Every structure is written in C-alpha cells, then in structure tokens.
Chain A
Amino acid sequence: AQSVTQLDSQVPVFEEAPVELRCNYSSSVSVYLFWYVQYPNQGLQLLLKYLSGSTLVKGINGFEAEFNKSQTSFHLRKPSVHISDTAEYFCAVPANDYKLSFGAGTTVTVRA
C-alpha cells in the first residue's frame, strides 16, 4: 500500500520567514498527492493536490508544493508565513481508490 512520511514533526518559524515542510511518498506507480491543513480544534482543509500535469502545484493561502518523481517527494513551501499559518499540516496519498493514507503531521508554529 502507498504511504507517506513526513520528515519533520515540529517546525518553528518566525513571521514573514519562509517555511518548507517535507513529505516523501512510497510508490512505484503514478500517484495523487495531497496536503491538508488542520487549524486548532478544526477539521482538515485541503491546501493543494497533485493529480497530474505540472509538477509545481499552487494552493490556497500562498502555499505551493513540488512533485519530484525522482526523489519521491512532495514538499510544501510558503515564501512568507503569517501568524495565522500556525497549524498542523498533513501530507496524504490514496491507499486505494477511495481511502487516504496520512502522514503523522507537522506542527508549524509561527512566532512574531
């Protein structure tokens, strides 16, 4: 079954600094890849997804991710973070046609 590994459990960052959250996937076939964000006491919100086509995917709130097949990675980036970006971020890959397999999550804490 396909799976993802999030390499960082906690990422502290100062406001207006860039941030990168790392995600590696395990698959030898074509994949779909997702990044979700979970704000405190909220459900999951889709940030962006890669289905096919351009390897650079732009999402909401200024986030983007790059699909790299050779490195089996799908890292999430934002050039300048805000306090409001403090949240838990999850990388996910379909385990089959309908269910998602999530990473353990990366907690981003933005400080002024």
Chain B
Amino acid sequence: GAGVSQSPRYKVAKRGQDVALRCDPISGHVSLFWYQQALGQGPEFLTYFQNEAQLDKSGLPSDRFFAERPEGSVSTLKIQRTQQEDSAVYLCASSLAYANTEAFFGQGTRLTVV
C-alpha cells in the first residue's frame, strides 16, 4: 500500500485479555517504530526495529508488552493480560532510512480496556 497500515483500527478488550496489534509499514522501509499515545498526550516511544532486529525496547511499559518483526516487514505489538492503564492509541511509523529525518505514521489502533 501507499502508506503505513494498522489493524484493527479499534479494539475493545476485557481486562486480563491478550491483544495483538498489527502494523504493515511502507514497502522497503528499514525502520519501524511503535508509539503509545494516551488521551490528551503526545506520542511516547515504545520500541524500534531496524529490519528484523529490535534495537531498542526501552519504552515498553512492562514485560506484558512484546513486539516482533520477524521478517523485517510486518510488525506485531502484543499486550498480555491487558490492564485499564493500557488504554491508548498505539501508533506505528516507518522510515526509509536509519535516522529519523522523516517517519510516516499509520492511523493508529485505539485500544480500550474495560
């Protein structure tokens, strides 16, 4: 596709449920990022992939959060045993180069934990 695609757009999960959020980056983009955007806040960095290698996961809030990009293209962000504080919009971005001179963002997945 022409842009970064994320699915699902909306997800409602019961507390304790596991969820998986998908990101299809722009074809050929080396770098892939996940950000978390709480209501009324700016995006906060979660993790960074360069091809299939996860080079930085320092922003993941807890060990319930796990991200992968096994073939250097599609990425999945998994949240185990969801909690209400996990409710947020999860944004995926990709960029052609290794440096972040221009990152293209997807529309996000809005996760609501009830």
Q: Which of the 9-residue segments A41-49, A60-68, A71-79 touches chain B?
A: A41-49
Q: Tell me whether B62 is interfacial, beta carbon within 8 Å.
A: no
Closest to B92 in A: A43
Q: Mark A9-52, 1 if CB is under 8 A from B, else 0.
A: 00000000000000000000000100010000111111001010
Contact B42–A98 (Cβ < 8 Å): no
Nearest Cβ on chain B to A101's Cβ, whole angstroms: 8
Which residues of B have CB within 8 Å of A103? 42
Contact A32–B43 (Cβ < 8 Å): no
Q: Which of the 9-residue segments B12-20, B77-85, B101-109 touches chain A?
A: B101-109
Asked, given contacts A49-B101, A99-B56, A100-B100, whether A43 binds B106 with beta carbons under 8 Å apart, the answer is yes
Contact A98–B98 (Cβ < 8 Å): yes
Q: How many A-B residue pairs have CB under 8 A?
A: 64
Q: Tell me whether B31 is interfacial, beta carbon within 8 Å.
A: yes
Q: Mark A96-112, 1 if CB is under 8 A from B, else 0.
A: 01111111110000000
Contact A97–B98 (Cβ < 8 Å): yes
Q: Which of B4, B31, B40 contacts A98 (CB 8 A)?
A: B31
Q: How far is the CA of A99 from the CA of B59 in the complex (A)?
A: 10
Asked, given contacts A43-B108, A44-B91, whether A100 binds B45 with beta carbons under 8 Å apart, the answer is yes
Closest to B4 in A: A43
Chain B interface residues toward A at CB < 8 A = 4, 6, 31, 33, 40-45, 48, 50, 55-56, 59, 91, 93, 98-108, 110
Chain A interface residues toward B at CB < 8 A = 32, 36, 41-46, 49, 51, 90, 92, 94-95, 97-105
